[in-house]
């Protein structure tokens, strides 16, 4: 398996634009997580899915953020409209139920909003 | 509030020095514990994990961690660090029967050659 695949690796966008981050989890994993990493706040859990269903989105900062998982092999995190304070590295991770091997993280998307 | 605390923000060591990074958590009940490493510019990778059994857990690259239940701690250790261990280290806790994992703020380790 190629691991958790995220795209794009880097995204630079202007304030106000829509940004879509993509994630392909490891095949067979039941859980998918979106995290945001910044110097100030560290790793923050934004939302997670179990079997494609959103379970907890309490970490999503505001209504500008939305996430979907239309099928077991694809998830998106969308920011509309984007703001400079959204600049961060966004990680996707997936896991089997029971977390016997912890999470497997993707390489992340570095988002810069100017 | 439930939290994961890593005491050291930045640790600087010389090669061959011994390492201990602290991690405490405040979750009640049974927990699973993890240490992840993030090398510069890379994603998080699992170093080691504790689910049950022997509280001294050995991981990859010579790292180990000890779970002390009475202290709610899971400290990471390595007897002799190398320059290549320069990275950020994250402690993480998952409550059994809960579905997410919470991370500490991370400790940046710099090893001087």
A24 alpha-carbon distance from chain centroid: 10
- Check B46 against A43: CB less than 8 A apart: no
- Across residues A45-68, what is the average pLDDT? 93
pLDDT at A98 over 80: no
- How many A/B residue pairs have CB atoms within 8 Å? 48
Query: Scanning the structure block, which residue is given the tokens 């139920």?
Result: A97
Q: Cα dihedral angle (B47, B44, A50, A102), rounded to 10 degrees?
A: 0
Q: What is the percent of chain A with per-residue pLDDT over 90, rounded to a whole number?
A: 82
The tokens for A107 are 């390489």
**Per-residue pLDDT tens digits for B41-80:** 888 999 999 998 999 999 999 999 999 999 999 999 999 9
Q: Is A90 left (phi over 0), alpha (psi -120 to 50) or beta?
A: beta
Q: Which position has the higher pLDDT, B43 or A86?
A: A86
pLDDT confidence band for B98 (50 / 70 / 90): confident
Q: Which residues of chain A have a Cβ shorter than 8 Å from any chain B Cβ?
A: 31, 33, 35, 42-43, 45, 48, 50, 55-56, 91, 93, 99-108
pLDDT at B82 over 80: yes
Q: Cα dihedral angle (B33, A66, A4, A31), rounded to 10 degrees?
A: 50
- Cβ atoms of residues B67 and B32 within 8 Å: no
pLDDT for residue B2 = 67
pLDDT at A99 over 80: no
- Check A100 against B51: CB less than 8 A apart: yes
Q: Which residue of B has its CA nearest to A92?
A: B43
The dihedrals phi and psi of A31, each to the nearest 5 degrees, come to -120, 145
Q: Which residues of A touch B42 (CB under 8 A)?
A: 107
pLDDT at B104 over 70: yes
- Check A99 against B42: CB less than 8 A apart: no
């Amino acid at each position: 398996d190629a691991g958790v695949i995220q795209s794009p690796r880097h995204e630079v966008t202007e304030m106000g634009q829509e940004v879509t981050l993509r994630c392909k989890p490891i095949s067979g994993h039941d859980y998918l997580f979106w995290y945001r990493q910044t110097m100030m706040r560290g790793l923050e859990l934004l939302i997670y899915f179990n079997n494609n269903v959103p379970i907890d989105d309490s970490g999503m900062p505001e209504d500008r953020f939305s996430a979907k998982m239309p099928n077991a092999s694809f998830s998106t995190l969308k920011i509309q409209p984007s703001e400079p304070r959204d600049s961060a590295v966004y990680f996707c991770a997936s896991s089997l139920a029971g977390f016997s091997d912890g999470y497997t993280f993707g390489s992340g998307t570095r988002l810069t909003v100017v | 509030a439930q939290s994961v605390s890593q005491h050291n923000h930045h640790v600087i060591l010389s090669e061959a020095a011994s390492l201990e990074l602290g991690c405490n958590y405040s979750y009640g009940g049974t927990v699973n514990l993890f240490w992840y490493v993030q090398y510069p510019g890379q994603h998080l990778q699992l170093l080691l994990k504790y689910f049950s059994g022997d509280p001294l857990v050995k991981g990859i690259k010579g790292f180990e961690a000890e779970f002390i239940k009475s202290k709610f701690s899971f400290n990471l250790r390595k007897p002799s660090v190398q320059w290549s261990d320069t990275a950020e280290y994250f402690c993480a806790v998952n409550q059994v029967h809960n579905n997410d994992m919470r991370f500490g703020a991370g400790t940046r380790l710099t090893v001087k050659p």
